[in-house]
Structure 1
């Protein structure tokens, strides 16, 4: 964990990297905190044998969003720049990302950060809210991503009325992956992490590559792209052969991650 980080914590345990938001009590995202988050994500771009990035938080909520104090005329361009840099980096991430939303939930920019991850697990009482219009701003990331997640009508209602969803409702409409009782949140997160990390690093990356590259393509182009990944890259890996051999020999695979 870097000693230079003031508002986030970062550690690597085996094949899982974890970023923990730590600006109590509500992890309000100011420019300095966003700079730390962006720099940490940048350092992880060459992920090596890392299979998963987990973003979680300490305190009463995952994050209450961007710091109102940084919306001043002299700071706003810098704030938006460092905030958007986080999403540029996450969007290009080669490994799966998982956010863990505890306590009161995720609001504004915090909601955008949590829901941008590939998998989102939240405690049942956590709320997901985009209240930007109430303070005269708009949610830039949500305006782009939510229509794809929850459909046009759901996205318009959520963004234009500030409708809040508890985690179970958010899971039902597709905004997050899963809601669990707070006492079992860590147990469920660890269960999902164990499931994911049981697979080969390189195969996990190729599956994510296939899904992200084809997300905006039509079916024919998508299938061609997945076929290219399969026949030009996947088929050449040692872990493909190991996985097939392990299945035939009725044993657990010994991944080489290459």
Structure 2
């Protein structure tokens, strides 16, 4: 088993993160803590605008919690590190786009990790499930997230029965954005990451904060927070050079040059 379960690569403003923990890319406490550090680095580096997350190999994206490590002493309620399990789902202030490229089996905590992204692309052979019910435990984060992402009855069936969805069905219910041949997955994921990296980072930040904070608010309450200057990212956008650049570029009929300030 590798001592370096997470590989990272910077491609301009894109930060590629690869989970590489043979044989199945399961996550133990140590790996989760490393992932938290990696995603914190992404969040805090102004030069990085988009994260692209995938996994090594062709069979597994991630099956979630490492049961072998648990049998050897890893406590399920142990220290997952900053950002919680997998470093993403509880990471505060992550106001940058995250693309998930699911290249195989994606279940349990691996599906919860995928749900922490903003866009999910899947290989044709990818599959999805929440098998926790079969081991007498609860998929806690998925129980919160999944019924808000796909039709309630489909989410509850997955939670209650642990049944598997192939990539086509996952796309049909809106669990993933797009299904691609395996050899095209990373090509499209990188194309999309580059497209987002060339976009206005302050606008993306404002979108993510508003969407996150407004999730459990009434429409008018959320809108009032915007008009009362109570969203930090929105206020930063409205006072930014990029806001002026967008207007100037439109008037001058040219592509804008975003600086993130």
State TM-score, norm by structure 2.
0.88
Pairwise CA distance, 1:114: 1.1
Pairwise CA distance, 1:245: 0.8
Matches within 5 A, 1:101-140: 101-102=102-103, 104-140=104-140
Q: Which residue of 2 aligns with 1:201?
A: 201
Matches within 5 A, 1:41-56: 41-56=39-54
1:124–1:90 distance in 2 versus 1, CA, 3 Å = farther
1:192–1:85 distance in 2 versus 1, CA, 3 Å = closer
Distance between the aligned counterparts of 2:197 and 2:71, measured in 1?
43
Q: Which residue of 2 aligns with 1:69?
A: 68
Instruction: Check whether the contact 1:114–1:120 (CA below 8 A) recurs between aligned residues.
Output: yes
Matches within 5 A, 1:179-258: 179-227=179-227, 228=229, 229=231, 232-258=235-261
1:44–1:148 distance in 2 versus 1, CA, 3 Å = same
Unaligned runs of 5+ in 2: none
**Any idea what SS the aligned residue of 2:54 has?**
strand
Pairwise CA distance, 1:131: 0.8
Instruction: Check whether the contact 1:51–1:204 (CA below 8 A) recurs between aligned residues.
Output: no
Pairwise CA distance, 1:201: 1.8
Pairwise CA distance, 1:21: 0.3
Which segment drifts farther, 15-24 or 198-207? 198-207
Distance between the aligned counterparts of 1:244 and 1:107, measured in 2?
45
Deviations 1:182-206 (A, max 9, x none): 2221222122112211212222212
Pairwise CA distance, 1:225: 2.6
CA-based RMSD: 2.3
Pairwise CA distance, 1:57: 0.7
Distance between the aligned counterparts of 1:233 and 1:40, measured in 2?
25
Q: Which residue of 2 aligns with 1:57?
A: 55
Pairwise CA distance, 1:23: 0.8
1:151–1:219 distance in 2 versus 1, CA, 3 Å = same
1:14 equivalent in alignment to 2:15: no
Distance between the aligned counterparts of 2:111 and 2:245, measured in 1?
40
Matches within 5 A, 1:166-185: 166-185=166-185
